[in-house]
Amino acid sequence: MPKSMKNEKGIEYFLYARRSIMKSDKEEKVVSTESQMKEMKDIAQEQGLTILRTFEETITAKKPGRPQFNEMIERIKKGEANGILVWKIDRLARNPVDEGTIKYLLQEGVIKNIKATDRDWYPDDNSLLASVEFGVATQYSRDLAKHIKRGLRAKVQEGHRPSIAPLGYKNSKYREKGKETILVDEERFPIVRKIFDLALSGKHNVLEITRIANDVLGLRTKGTSRFPPGRVGKHSLYSLLGNPFYYGDFEYPLGSGIWHKGKYQPMITKQEYDEVQSVINNRGKPRKVKHEFAYRMLIKCGECGAYLTADEKFKHIRRTGEINRYVYYRCTKRVDRNCSQMPIRKEALEVQIRELLMQISIPKEFSDWAMSQLGVLAESEQATNVSVLKNHEKSLKVCEGKLGRLLDLRLADEITAEKYSSVKTDFEKERDTLKSSIQALKNPKIEELEKFKIKLSFAESLLQKFEGGDMDTRREILRNIGSNHTFKDGKLSVSIEKPLLLIGELKKQSVGDRERLEPENTFITKDIFKELTL
């Protein structure tokens, strides 16, 4: 009687199906584990076999450690089943350890039957035949690994990187086995090239480039059968910008230090790659710009009192390929969520700042003239102070003499204590006032004059300083021209400091039909000097 027709009464089966992760030529005809199970279930139904449980996994059998296989063997050892249904014997084992386990359990009768589509195995079979069958499967697995490695080495030597192509490229779908090529991804290649251009410009950091790539250029990952295309993260973009693959070289095996020249179209040159690295790595990273938004948290909303913050928007100009950056200032609405104030473009806001600065910005010639006028005024005041000082010193001596005579009168008991106290208080007040005046006359307003000179220097070419200044400079200029910076209904308002306003008034007087550099028939008077030095 043929072995396949033996009486299998009393045998209960586990069905085992496996598919390797890596497909081989021999396995190409195996569509899936589902097809294996269907074929074995058909055999079981035809022969009246009992299947207690199905074990299914997608994993290579080249090494021991398959979870489903190990569970099946443990259950068989416990006596839960004594037969195995399997599509081919090589589905059970392709390594010596699992092969020995199956052969031992079969020879000991723990497994009474292994049924495959091509034959059956029983405990009383010649063990040599089973060893040959398992040995063929094991040797095939070892040879397959060698063939794959040999093929990969040949593939690498020809300039083909044996892995998934990075963003901007794609793996060819139609190829001769072992001759896979990497092609340009027509959709993503120009976008990734634009990302390198943004990095080369030095105008954007990696975080900004990531935002532009996702929101403006619409870059998305390739996606897989399990995961749809998604946004590109900052760390992924760092890896992209630092990948030598894009200038035509790749390392294989990864981490080996062995580099190969790729047989595909490079996206950038080696020089461009090096320039990008100088920007993104720590050694060549440019200093971070302070106050990226110059006027954020400096101006308050005139409606609700909350500070203005800033947002940036990017726009891709398809005609030129440029990426334009726009900054808008708007109310944070932290005080009133229903605040109705609309945002304003940075350029429009700076137009208003320039209008304020034009009122107080003075040319150097005017500043020099004003300085000389202040010098003349200071000398005039000092000359006047000499005569006034002499009069005050004379009056002080008289006052102190009166205090002395008053004391003599009290000691002689010629005036009462009450009268003495009252008159003494008046004389002391007069004396203290004279002392203060004398002290002030001896120390003219040098300090106040110096303070005004600082204001005058600040106003000198102020508009030009603003135009040529960086973000820090512009912020400080706006901060220092006054206080109470507010924005309402599209209008910026600042309470400009009084000395700067007076400088502006003097500037107006100096501008006539011929734009004279000093006021006609006008001088900095003592009253104006007092105003300027407040």
Domain holding 261: CATH number? 3.90.1750.20
Share of the chain above pLDDT 90, in %: 23
Residue 85 sits in the same domain as residue 180: no
| Whole-number pLDDT of residue 28 | 45
In sequence order, which ranges of 307-363 are alpha helices (DSSP H)? 346-360
Residues 506 and 457: their CA atoms lie apart, in Å, by: 15
More reliable by pLDDT, 135 or 399: 399
From residue 230, alpha-carbon distances to 193, 220, 240 in Å are 19, 5, 16
Residue 128 sits in the same domain as residue 198: no
Mean pLDDT lowest among 9-13, 145-149, 218-222, 306-310 = 145-149
Residues 421 and 345: their CA atoms lie apart, in Å, by: 72
Residue 372: both structure tokens together:
């000389």
Domain boundary among 255, 280, 305: 280
Residues 260 and 319: their CA atoms lie apart, in Å, by: 37
348 in a domain, yes or no? no
Residue 140 sits in the same domain as residue 43: yes
Residue 131 sits in the same domain as residue 208: no
Confidence of residue 471 (pLDDT cuts 50, 70, 90): confident
pTM above 0.85, yes or no: no
Residue 111 sits in the same domain as residue 18: yes
Domain boundary among 212, 245, 280: 280
SS3 96: helix
CA 205 to chain centre: 7
Residue 514 sits in the same domain as residue 412: yes
Residue 56 sits in the same domain as residue 136: yes
Here the contacts of 265-272 (C-beta below 8 Å, separation 24 or greater) are: 265/184, 267/168, 267/189, 267/192, 267/193, 267/196, 268/193, 268/196, 272/196, 272/200, 272/247
How many CA atoms, within 13 angstroms, populate the side-chain half-sphere of residue 167?
Answer: 27
57 in a domain, yes or no? yes
Indicate whether 354 pLDDT > 90.
yes
138 in a domain, yes or no? yes
Average pLDDT over the chain reads 79
Residue 259 sits in the same domain as residue 133: no
295 in a domain, yes or no? no
pLDDT in tens, 378-418: 666 655 666 677 787 888 888 888 888 888 887 888 888 88
Residue 10 sits in the same domain as residue 132: yes
Mean pLDDT lowest among 162-166, 195-199, 289-293, 425-429 = 289-293
Domain boundary among 280, 303, 318: 280
- Asked if omega into 166 is within 30° of 0 (cis), the reply is no
Count helices and strands (H / E) in the chain. 16, 15
User: Contact 108/80 with Cβ under 8 angstroms?
Assistant: no
More reliable by pLDDT, 527 or 469: 469
Residue 65 sits in the same domain as residue 145: yes
Residue 367: both structure tokens together:
């500043």
| Whole-number pLDDT of residue 129 | 56
Write out the residue range of the structural domain in which residue 272 sits: 169-280
Confidence of residue 27 (pLDDT cuts 50, 70, 90): very low
CATH number at residue 29: 3.40.50.1390
Residue 93 sits in the same domain as residue 238: no
78 in a domain, yes or no? yes
Residues 30 and 35: their CA atoms lie apart, in Å, by: 7
More reliable by pLDDT, 215 or 339: 339
Residue 142 sits in the same domain as residue 200: no
| Whole-number pLDDT of residue 345 | 93
162 in a domain, yes or no? no
All residues at 6 or more sequence positions from 347 whose CB lies less than 8 Å from its CB, including other chains:
none
Structural domain count of the chain:
3
